[in-house]
Structure 1
Amino acid sequence: MKLLAHIRSKSRLKSTDDTKTDEKHLLKRPASDVWAAPDPTAAFSAPLLEELLSYVCPHSRDDTYTSCEESMVDGGCMLCDMRDLSQCALVNQQWFKAAQNLLYHNVRIDAVHYCDREEEVAKRRTRSPFVGRNESPKDASQERLQFFSRTVRENGFLADKVQYLKIAYMTRESCMSDIARTVSVLRNLLYVDLPDGVYRDEPSSNTLKQEVEHCTNLGYMKYVGGAENSFQSLAHSRHWRHLKTLELSHLEVESSTILEVRGTLDALREVKLTNLAMLDDSIFGPSINGSLPPLAKLTLQDIPNISADGLIAYLSQREAKENLTSLSIANTGISPAEYHRILASAPYLTNLEIVENVSRALPSSALPFLASRSLRTLHYEISNANSSPRGLKNPADSYYSYLASSILNGSLPSLSNLYALSTTLPILLVPPPRPAMTGNRTGNVPSPLKLGITRPLTLYTKTISELEWDLTLIIPPTSLDRRLSAMNIGPMSLQGPQLSPQWRDKGRESVMVGNGFGGFLAVPTENTRPGNAKVKKRQDSGAWMG
């Protein structure tokens, strides 16, 4: 009996082992035997998949030559977007390549999260093991820059993908050596955020600037007061031949020097000239050193010796007038009463920015209206140079009346966005509605052509002392409104303090919809900020960096 019990126990153990073996075998079955849902993105081309993933991380498509602070994407957190995009890379090999191209095309080294997660990771940085007993918390932004530098220095394939490197201000000012080591291997770099010392030729930035000079594809460079010698040497050096955007500020250079340097920059398309006391109209005319090339964007700021005649002479060239689409003029020798001449000389201009301080009203003689069929965005920021005595009309009011007359006359038919330092401009453009008629509905409604507003106009207004813009949306009446309306009114308007364009929160936005009988239906909007979403806590070792 003992023998049978012993044999039975062995057989039982054997059956148990066989069961475990079968389970192991099932676990090791090839993946082809397991049914899986087909991947709908398998047939997508690489460009299409990159375009779709760019919505996860919008700043990856930012190809502008603007700094990290100026190129912030509204409504999201850039660091969180990069984390989400890196998670997408884990789906399969196709997604990995697409996400990798986006992540390394435009690299951002941000200092903080722009969402609630920053409060969480800030607490983690103050705990061990991230902080020693007698040490201060680590600088997360500097750690990110060092990790990125090590990655591109060890992997030339990834280094060649980087074209835009945007670094937070405090990081680029305190980590010049790390930036120099990083830039030295980025052969296809088009733009990089640099410390201010590089633009001023400070001795402490010489090493970094020498490394940047090896980036022959660089598209943006700036020279500030103190870098006169470096700027003049650009006319004889062979680096940065592909510059597209050049910015000069507070330099003691003459127009002939600028034209001489321009002769070596054939790809130049955008020029910004700020506070150049020695500059005059000779910068526009042809000389022995050449002339300004056909530019797409021209910015003139705080240059008192430039006149309207010199700018119009430049625009008299056929290539110059056909290429110029954006013009910005602030505090120059060009009078606001002469802008109708400039608009007439620039038929393809789509963006115009005017910033002037005036002490006299417009002349009483009739001026031609501001007229342009191509202008879409207008910054008309006219302010008073001095405070007017009590009881006298402000000189700037006459300029806004002139602007309103030009718009209502139909001289700016393509205008969509208007910025003005006047709180009375909405009243000038939208007259108050007349009371509705109760008995007779045969009232005549003015045609939108007579009002000169044939398309929706977004008007941003404020006073010079305010920081935020007030939004007024002016919508011309449609044919349906004319048939159903019982009032003799102008365009519909959303007036009052609304949404600042810099704000991400649209909770204050309101919508007014006409009901067809002279009234309005209020439709509230409910929007939540993407950055306010709760973030799931992660306990990985690098969570303190965000």
Structure 2
Amino acid sequence: MRKRRRRFDRNGDPEDVPSVRLKLLCRTLREDATRLGSRVCFFKTPYMLREGAQADLARTIAVLPHLFYVDLPEGLYSDDPAYATLRLEVEARCPNLQKMTYRGGSERSLARLAHGRIWRNLQVLELIKINMDPNILRQVLGALRHLRALKVTESKTFTDDVFAYNEMLPPFPALQQLVLTKTPGITSVGLVEYLSWPEARMTLEDLSLVKTGVEIPFLHEVVIAATSLKSLAVQASVDGPFRSGSHTQRLTSGSLETLRFEISSDSNANAYSSAASTYYTYLASSILGGGLKNLRAVYVLDEDFADQLQGLPPPPLPRAPFAQGAGLRPQSSGSGMSMMSTSPRAGFHAPPPNAANSDLAPPRRPFAPSAPASNRFSSNNPFAGTGSLTHTLEVFAKRDEAMNWSFVKVSPDAALAPSSSRYSMVGGMRHDRPVSAYGLGADVASQGWNTPGARRSVMVGNGAGGFVAIPPHEPAGLRPAGEGLWPH
């Protein structure tokens, strides 16, 4: 009945719609558990619902024997005594779960996995603030024969000892995806020892290192050892410039396709320090050196990184608008290209009248041996003297994590094209929209790095404070010729 604005008889309190829907779903599944309950593989519930409707959640799970993934209350992951009955129900009724999370306080339940009696088919395992003996953790991981993805967050006991060879313990499983976040005990030595095992070296495809003990000058050892690596994510805060030595080499990989290289200056460092820029110089030299031949996308926290790949000088300092020659780049001696700029910040400047017959050659690259030395690439830099870009590369850059990604498509012949073709959002791309993966590795397959904020599409306003609706997906063959991504 429609509610009326009266002083009395307001039709009672409104009912909790999510709880009612869960009761109806539970009744439907329990009435025909053989035909309907056995077909359910994923069970997603809102946060407030699963936290307050434990009884209905347990009654529903009891008739879903083939579940691969289920949303459970947060207290169950940390062995809260209030959720002990629900945990026993899940262990008994859902033996085929493929993803499970353990939080701090659930070390005893995690150790039970080593006996191989519950959840033997786990494929994705997430450990949050787990502190337990590395030998026990090694036995747990060795018992999970189907494990393919592991995510460890904020663990001080997860160190290189977990990867160490031990005849009394099963080997560390060969993982396809490994995400390590805030694990200072993991260094390049432990990862190289793990990747020395041939099966692990050929299986690992996604590796994420967020604030770990792996130092950037030693990152090349891990990249070289992981011969099948396709996606690498590195995030670190540095307090000093890049320190190179006789052991330091450029990044080299024949399989790496996506690289997230997010290096920022430490909060305690000088606000005007350029320590992080030296790390991006090292990355640019690795790309221009030809060591990353299959690299197609790179994410950096440096807005000038695309200019480094094209060999452009750094942008000029801001000057007063009334100053003579404001907005023009200073001309360099011995170069005829100083009269034209392809940088997106300086725009296009027409050459002076006396330069009508000058050669329009691309700007010299500071990595080339014949190029004059600059402040960023001085003669003391061991990574200077590299070649030119050999393949097209997509660069996603931003200044800090609070900003949105800007997309730049850099190609070897981009210097010969107008600047608008280099620094523009590429429209009309035929990539499919991302599909949500419910539970199985969606948050450990480096998807936390490839957030929806780093997209090639453009948000189009509708004039009323919102955005134009997403067009329906149509096969490429049914789309009329000449029609772009957004229909008329």
Select 2:177's aligned residue among 275, 286, 297: 297
Describe the shift of the 1:281–1:446 C-alpha distance in structure 2 as closer, same or farther (beyond 3 A).
same
Select 2:97's aligned residue among 186, 210, 218: 218
Secondary structure, counterpart of 1:355 in structure 2? strand
Describe the shift of the 1:474–1:447 C-alpha distance in structure 2 as closer, same or farther (beyond 3 A).
farther
Provide the rounded CA distance (Å) in 1 between the counterparts of 2:293 and 2:2.
Answer: 56
Query: 2:111 matched to which residue of 1?
Result: 232
Q: Report deviation, 1:418.
A: 2.2
Q: Report deviation, 1:341.
A: 0.9
CA offsets, 1:61-90, max 9 Å, x none? xxxxxxxxxxxxxxxxxxxxxxxxxxxxxx
Describe the shift of the 1:440–1:407 C-alpha distance in structure 2 as closer, same or farther (beyond 3 A).
same
Select 1:374's aligned residue among 255, 269, 290: 255
- Identity across matched positions, percent: 33
Q: Residue type matched to 2:226 in 1?
A: A
Query: 1:146 matched to which residue of 2?
Result: 23
Select 2:404's aligned residue among 466, 469, 476: 469
Query: 2:197 matched to which residue of 1?
Result: 317
Describe the shift of the 1:453–1:148 C-alpha distance in structure 2 as closer, same or farther (beyond 3 A).
farther
Q: Residue type matched to 2:170 in 1?
A: G
Q: Residue type matched to 1:395 in 2?
A: A
Q: Residue type matched to 2:262 in 1?
A: E
Q: Report deviation, 1:386.
A: 2.7
Provide the rounded CA distance (Å) in 1 between the counterparts of 2:156 and 2:81.
Answer: 26
Do the aligned residues in 2 keep the contact of 1:164 with 1:189 (CA within 8 Å)? yes
Q: Residue type matched to 2:452 in 1?
A: P
Runs of 4+ that moved beyond 6 A: 124-128, 446-449
Provide the rounded CA distance (Å) in 2 between the counterparts of 1:435 and 1:337.
Answer: 40
Secondary structure, counterpart of 1:234 in structure 2? helix
Q: Report deviation, 1:181.
A: 0.9
Provide the rounded CA distance (Å) in 2 between the counterparts of 1:223 and 1:127.
Answer: 49
Deviates more, 1:439-448 or 1:376-385: 439-448
Q: Report deviation, 1:244.
A: 0.5
Provide the rounded CA distance (Å) in 2 between the counterparts of 1:320 and 1:257.
Answer: 20
Provide the rounded CA distance (Å) in 2 between the counterparts of 1:351 and 1:148.
Answer: 40
Q: Report deviation, 1:453.
A: 5.0
Query: 1:196 matched to which residue of 2?
Result: 74
CA offsets, 1:296-326, max 9 Å, x none? 0111222222221111011011100100000
2:151 aligned with 1:272, yes or no?
yes
Q: How does 1:307-456 map to 2 (within 5 A)?
A: 307-365=187-245, 367-389=248-270, 392-430=272-310, 431=312, 432-433=341-342, 439-440=356-357, 443-445=360-362, 450-452=387-389, 454-456=391-393
CA offsets, 1:334-379, max 9 Å, x none? 1111111111001111111111121121115473222222212222
Q: TM-score, structure 2 length as denominator? A: 0.70
RMSD: 3.5
Which 5+ residue runs of structure 1 have no aligned equivalent? 1-123, 511-526, 533-546
Q: Residue type matched to 1:210 in 2?
A: L
Secondary structure, counterpart of 2:291 in structure 1? coil
Structure with the greater alpha carbon radius of gyration: 1
2:58 aligned with 1:180, yes or no?
yes
Do the aligned residues in 1 keep the contact of 2:124 with 2:150 (CA within 8 Å)? yes
Secondary structure, counterpart of 1:356 in structure 2? strand
Number of residue pairs aligned between Structure 1 and Structure 2: 381
Deviates more, 1:250-259 or 1:374-383: 374-383
By percentage of residues, which structure has more helix? 1
Q: Residue type matched to 1:410 in 2?
A: G
Q: Residue type matched to 2:152 in 1?
A: L
Q: Residue type matched to 1:469 in 2?
A: N
Q: TM-score, structure 1 length as denominator? A: 0.63
Q: Report deviation, 1:470.
A: 2.3
Secondary structure, counterpart of 2:194 in structure 1? helix
Provide the rounded CA distance (Å) in 2 between the counterparts of 1:242 and 1:416.
Answer: 34
Query: 1:136 matched to which residue of 2?
Result: 13
CA offsets, 1:398-423, max 9 Å, x none? 11221122223332232233222233
Q: Report deviation, 1:158.
A: 1.4
